[in-house]
Amino acid sequence: MDQDSHCTAERELLEAASRISTFSTTSPSDEEQNQPNAEISCQVKKENPEKDDLQDSNASRSPNSLMTTKELQEYWRNEKRQCRQVKLLFEIPSTRIVEHHLSKYVMYKIIILQTGSFDSNKSVVERRYSDFEKLHRNLLEEFSEEMEDVTFPKKTLTGNFTEEIINERKLAFKDYLRLLYSMKYIRRSKQFIDFLTRPELREAYGCLRGGQYTKALEILSEVVGLQKRLTRGNPVSIVPTLCAIVVCHKDLENPTSAFEYGEKALARLHVHTSHRYYIPLLETMIALAYELGKDFLSLQEKLEEWKAKKDPVRVFTLKELAVREYVQ
């Protein structure tokens, strides 16, 4: 390769990195409002890996101008990973018919997959027709304008358990969830998130209250991953679930795991010190840190600092707060 073409390639790489740098400063809300531009920014073509250690003297005004070609390539790869838009896909691969006393209904297996990242985890929940119907009714009350053109599969007087009707509803519910998720305000709504998480959370907290910590932990560990995906713009919302996991690990005498999840919860509350879980979590973390031989003085200082600013009030323990969740 001659010198002119080599320099031209270097300039193209610098320009690509500069474009990605500009894209990465866009706020999350801007990304959602400008998805076509985001996709274009993510489609920067790969450069030849054989170009290794040259700098572009003509790009001296660029903040990336002091990088070597190899460093720029690594920078480009990292930024490309970050600019992938995270989406959820909904699949309904199977169903099962449930007969319970005098009732009979179809349970639809919903698989929620995440795209746009390297996370290969998936979440699986089951819902029946009446669950979908309740979700639709609640969304119509809250988002009448957004739901104006959203169709919902109607009930039939006969044939609800035939293979034909079940398969039609599988496809209809899949499209229904996909459409709901495509609308920003609906996918962030309490109604939509509760539809996908609340039954499992109610079961998990019921197990916790009954002292079935292993079973509760199993369910909570599954649902917290889905909660993270659904509430990416509101990380504080999963604090109760993280704290319930702390309680389960602590009562199962797994202090290391309890402390690990406690740190995740505290990280989400560092600017929300008035949150009802903040002080009970701090107190639990101090006890765990002391037990594990970790630094508990910094946590103790935060607790004392909070007490100095606030009027003394009765504070529940972390476990007392957890057992009060989903009692109705």
Classified as helix, coil or strand, 26 is coil
* Number of domains into which the chain is organized: 2
Is residue 6 in some structural domain?
A: no
Question: For residue 296, how many other CB atoms are within 10 A of its CB?
Answer: 17
Instruction: Note whether 80 and 149 are same-domain residues.
Output: yes
Maximum alpha-carbon separation in the chain: 82
**Beta-ladder partners of 108:** 95, 127
Length of the chain: 328
pLDDT at 71: 62
pLDDT of 290 > 90? The answer is yes
CA distances from 187 to 194, 218, 259 (A): 11, 26, 31
pLDDT at 6: 47
Q: What is the CA radius of gyration of the chain?
A: 25
- 229 lies in which domain range? 200-327
For the residues 202-228, what does the mean pLDDT come to? 96
Q: Which of 165, 188, 211 is the last residue of a domain?
A: 188
Instruction: Note whether 206 and 322 are same-domain residues.
Output: yes
Instruction: Note whether 232 and 306 are same-domain residues.
Output: yes
Is residue 207 in some structural domain?
A: yes
pLDDT of 253 > 50? The answer is yes
Q: How far apart are CA 231 and CA 236, in angstroms?
A: 9
Instruction: Note whether 161 and 209 are same-domain residues.
Output: no
For the residues 51-56, what does the mean pLDDT come to? 42
- Per residue in 156-198, pLDDT tens? 877 788 999 999 999 999 999 999 999 999 999 999 999 999 9
Q: The domain spanning residue 151 has which CATH number?
A: 3.30.1520.10
pLDDT at 187: 95
pLDDT of 307 > 60? The answer is yes
Burial degree of 126 (CB within 10 A; 0-12, 13-18, 19+): middle
pLDDT of 296 > 80? The answer is yes
For the residues 125-144, what does the mean pLDDT come to? 96
Is residue 261 in some structural domain?
A: yes
Instruction: Note whether 114 and 175 are same-domain residues.
Output: yes
Q: How far apart are CA 215 and CA 258, in angstroms?
A: 16
Select from 32, 36, 43, 139 the least CA-distant residue to 86.
Answer: 32
Is residue 5 in some structural domain?
A: no
- Per residue in 2-33, pLDDT tens? 445 444 545 554 454 454 444 333 444 444 44
Q: Give 127's pLDDT tier (boundaries 50, 70, 90).
A: very high
Instruction: Note whether 176 and 135 are same-domain residues.
Output: yes
Is residue 9 in some structural domain?
A: no
| Contacts of residue 169, Cβ cutoff 8 Å, sequence gap at least 6 | 106, 108, 129, 153
Q: Which of 157, 188, 219 is the last residue of a domain?
A: 188
**Beta-ladder partners of 98:** 105
pLDDT at 73: 64
Q: Which of 141, 158, 188 is the last residue of a domain?
A: 188
pLDDT of 86 > 70? The answer is no
Is residue 228 in some structural domain?
A: yes
pLDDT at 11: 54
Whether pTM > 0.95 for this model: the answer is no
Instruction: Note whether 112 and 165 are same-domain residues.
Output: yes
Instruction: Note whether 85 and 182 are same-domain residues.
Output: yes
Is residue 12 in some structural domain?
A: no
Is residue 221 in some structural domain?
A: yes
